[in-house]
Amino acid sequence: MISLPEPKPEILARRASILADLARLLPADAVIGEEIRLRPYETDGLSAYRQMPLAVVLPRTTQEVAEVLRYCHANEIRVVPRGAGTSLSGGALPLADAVVIGLMRMNRIREINFEDRYAVVEAGVTNIGITKAVEGEGFFYAPDPSSQLACMIGGNVMMNSGGAHCLKYGVTANNLLGVTFVTIEGEVVEIGGTHLDAAGYDWLGLITGSEGQLGMVTEVTVRILRGPEGARAMLAAFDSVEVAGKAVDAIIGAGVIPVALEFMDKPCIHACEAFAHAGYPLDAEAMLIIEVEGSQAEQDMLLGRIRDICAQFKPISMKLAESAEQSLAIWKGRKGAFGAVGRISPDYLCMDGTIPTGELPFVLRRIGEMSTQYGLGVANVFHAGDGNLHPLIMFDANDPESFRKAEAFGADILKLCVEVGGCLTGEHGVGVEKRDLMTAQFTARELDLQRDIKSAFDPGWLLNTAKVFPLEGNARIAA
Amino acid sequence: MIAPGDEAGVAEAVRAAHAAREPLAIEGRGTKRAMLRPVQAARTLSTRGLTGITLYRPTELVISARAGTPIPEIEAALAEHNQQLIAEPPDTRALFGVEEPATLGGVVGANLSGPRRITWGAMRDHVLGIRAVNGTGEVFRSGGRVLKNVTGLDLCKLLTGAHGTLGVLTEITLKVLPRGESSGSLVLRVADIASGVRALSAALGTPYGVSGAALLPEGHGAMQGCLAIARIEDFAESVTYRLDRLRAELAAHGEAALLGREASEALWRDIRDAAPLNPAPEEAVWRLSLAPSRAPAACAALRQAFDAKLLLDWGGGLVWVAGPATEAAHGAVMQAAAGGSFTLFRGPDALRAAVPVLPAEPLPLAAIGARVKSVLDPAGILNPGRLRA
Ligand SMILES: Cc1cc2nc3c(=O)[nH]c(=O)nc-3n(C[C@H](O)[C@H](O)[C@H](O)COP(=O)(O)OP(=O)(O)OC[C@H]3O[C@@H](n4cnc5c(N)ncnc54)[C@H](O)[C@@H]3O)c2cc1C
Ligand SMILES: Cc1cc2nc3c(=O)[nH]c(=O)nc-3n(C[C@H](O)[C@H](O)[C@H](O)COP(=O)(O)OP(=O)(O)OC[C@H]3O[C@@H](n4cnc5c(N)ncnc54)[C@H](O)[C@@H]3O)c2cc1C
């Protein structure tokens, strides 16, 4: 179990007056203090952990965010920034003595410029909301996390989120031009803008993926791209994980970078097929979903090349979509993978480590062995192009022993990722979930250096305290 | 000059300098000594002794090399597997009048990206991992060797483009990509810079994956007039198809011609290296980064202020400027860059010491920057004065 720091008793004792102060700073409907209305904020996508916050505020403007931060800074009150609360690593988990600053009301699109190919949006606009606003002109916002219907661009910036198409289009960091950033002191600064590559230190790059440790983001300028003429998918099934891995290597070695390259193991194929009836091959040990883009003729050419490469590895079966509908059918199982696993197991933990793709057969074999050892099922879906593993560990949340085992199993997988040259998280962030594993990837001094950089932004350690950095050895968090 | 043969030697040299409170100029092969502000340091620490590719996995799209490895050596190794540096960094030898090739550390330290930046991202977007020595002589790592990694604070980004002021890069891991099987360009003769930027915006707004979009106001070689150029790099069939589509869709923007692979590659090498700018030896060179639609007005203002030579890349978003190395010309550049960013890329020491070589930061950020600097380099010995007075 992950522990949170002891709440500061003097802050808890002042709760009523803090709420009254916040109500003076913000419109009445923007401050939440009653238990029944606080309840929805007690957890995020890592729902095994729950903690009621001191208060929740829902500002509508950058100025209001700045006011709240200035107030909290002056009064040494901890804050927890929150977007849609879909973080799977507990990044938005409240603390008992913290004010949650939720940005869901900052959901306006400020400007769209097709000529210069950018959009300026408030931090609470959903990821899909950006694409919706520009798709009429054939444009889209590239990073597409599976949570894109709900998650917000501010949360995406702070988690540096990716999606199935990031092999080609990159993650959030590669698609940003600027942010409006509010420091813990309540100072509002513009970082970047509507141009590429500001001179000087790359604050935008440092803030991206910083998980609410450095300040809050209230507006974001993103690059928008013209969408391709079309896209089509194929699937290829193999009788061993090793061979499927070799096919992936051969595709990339031949200079073909598909827009998406997804890998599913046997348990995942079965779970998805039972759920979506997508026509997946149930006799396969591993299956690839490969998507290409371009004109009809280009899609034919690329899928033809990929089919010829896969054919060298004696696939059990291959299916090339003939139409957009057939593509959707191929994707349907994959897109529903989490829900599908949810149907065959009462609960699951979604892990998120990254490995060098060459280590895939070894890592999947080890995960299989651990699954037997822990007595818990695991299904693997995997962004094969970039080595981002998502083992789904199945357990029963009503059984504390089962949960404890699932967590230990997950930690073992992540340590394995680091051992083979990978890392603890590819897209979901460290949050509270992987906080205590950071020592597996970094030396004590390297962690201290990162903590010192955080201190340069947030000397009092008020921003999203107790996330990302292990509590142990962290002198800066006063209990 | 100190040029240690390994990382431990770099750490040792920095530790000694830190103990003695003795500033160090940090460089690879010193090709960019004339960039930004002159450094005030008695001694120079060079990474030229740290060479060699330490890991290359073509199918994993990653390469690692020690910081002093010359860029041509890395490009050659990648070319053997038909791969390339994604950001297409310029070869600045001609611009800086030096013989030696840039090192990997220098290109990453300066975050130098070329034409492909417009679609495929900047140098910093492809830095997956670093090893570095901070200002007290400690070795630290950030990132790793996998394509996706969001573990902890991304110090790779912080050090990329910091010009050696926050640490000495000793080893760098980059994402790489296959080289397009073929390439070609559409060349449009346009009336002026404004119509050229409009043509390039239209090109970048098509679904054809334009990977280079430059504007040559004075023509190039045998091609006279103001030229807007859009590049496609892809499989051969796609290049043919996409260039044809592009020509049809952009027909209204000007007289058009297509360049085949060889002519196109030669032209884009020139654009990458800013060769068409052709500055006189005594002239200064600036790089401005702006929203493309603001470039025409900026260019007009610069031409009014002085006899500005211009070259535009990134769809108009990058403006290379050459002109007299005077404070007046520099003032005009700063003004033209309002709302964007600029660097004094090349100039005589006197000018570089007298003017801000990049835009001022908002005060709160400057304060944070000073604290970050003192975390990584508490005695202020790494490249003092390089970025700001
Ligand atoms: C079903 C499901 C599928 C998912 N699939 C993917 C996927 O494919 N790829 C992927 O990358 N992630 C995925 N995620 C994880 C999650 O959606 C992303 O991390 C997302 O970016 C979080 O956005 P959010 O708005 O919900 O942020 P929250 O969960 O509210 O917050 C995330 C973190 O950012 C901080 N934060 C939020 N907003 C701000 C702000 N404005 N300023 C400062 N800090 C802020 C919070 O404190 C927290 O640390 C998935 C989650 C779910 C539930
Ligand atoms: C605006 C403009 C101004 C010019 N001004 C001058 C001038 O002042 N003086 C002068 O002498 N010349 C001028 N030219 C001509 C220009 O220099 C030549 O067109 C060019 O240099 C020839 O390059 P190349 O060697 O690739 O051409 P070539 O190889 O002779 O021909 C064009 C190449 O394009 C390839 N190609 C054709 N269609 C496609 C396609 N759909 N996809 C991919 N590749 C294709 C062909 O394979 C061929 O290799 C001008 C051209 C333009 C557009």
- Option in B134, B201, B369 nearest A115 (CB): B201
| Pocket probe mutation, ligand 1, options A158, A171, A210, max atoms within 8 Å of Cβ | A158
Tell me the average pLDDT of chain B. Answer: 96
Q: Is B217 left (phi over 0), alpha (psi -120 to 50) or beta?
A: alpha
pTM: predicted TM-score of the whole model, two decimal places: 0.94
Query: ∠B94-B96-B101 over CA atoms, to 5°?
Result: 70
Written in H, E and C, the secondary structure of A351-367 is CCEECCHHHHHHHHHHH
Count Cα atoms within 13 angstroms, Cβ side, for B171: 21
CB of A391 closer than 6 angstroms to any ligand 1 atom: no
Q: What pLDDT was estimated at residue A478?
A: 62
**Minimal C-alpha gap between A10 and chain B (Å):** 29
For chain A, the helix, strand and coil percentages under 3-state DSSP, each to the nearest 5: 40, 20, 40
Q: Convert the pLDDT of each residue in A282-306 to its tens digit.
A: 999 999 999 999 999 999 999 999 9
Separation of B260 CA from ligand 2 center, angstroms?
A: 7
In angstroms, rounded to a whole number, what is the distance separating the alpha carbons of residues A245 and A355? 13
Residue A279 has pLDDT above 70, yes or no: yes
| Percentage of residues in chain B having pLDDT higher than 90 | 95
Q: What is the whole-number distance in angstroms between the Cα of residue A153 and the centre of ligand 1?
A: 8
pLDDT of A479 > 60? The answer is no
pLDDT band at A474 (very low <50, low <70, confident <90, very high): confident
pLDDT of residue B350: 95
Quote the ligand 2 centre to B46 CA distance (angstroms): 45
Nearest to B147 among A115, A199, A387 (CB): A387
A391-424: pLDDT as tens digits:
999 999 899 999 999 999 999 999 999 999 999 9
Q: Is the ipTM beyond the 0.90 threshold?
A: yes
Ligand 1 atom nearest A83 alpha carbon: 30
What is the dihedral sign for C-alpha A149, A155, A156, A157?
positive
Q: Which of B345, B343, B287 is nearest to B317 (CA)?
A: B287
A243, containing H or E segment: helix A241-253
A259-273, A340-354, B47-61, B234-248: segment of lowest average pLDDT: A340-354
- Note whether A449 contacts B146, CB cutoff 8 Å: no
Checking if the pLDDT of B87 tops 90, the result is yes
Q: In whole numbers, what is the pLDDT of chain A averaged over residues?
A: 95
Selected residue of B111, B133, B148 to mutate for chain A interface (largest A Cβ count, 10 A): B148
What is the rounded distance in angstroms from the CA atom of residue A235 to the CA atom of residue A250? 16
User: Does the CB atom of residue B263 touch ligand 2 within 6 A?
Assistant: yes
Over residues A23-71, the pLDDT tens digits come to 999 999 999 999 999 999 999 999 889 999 999 999 999 999 999 999 9
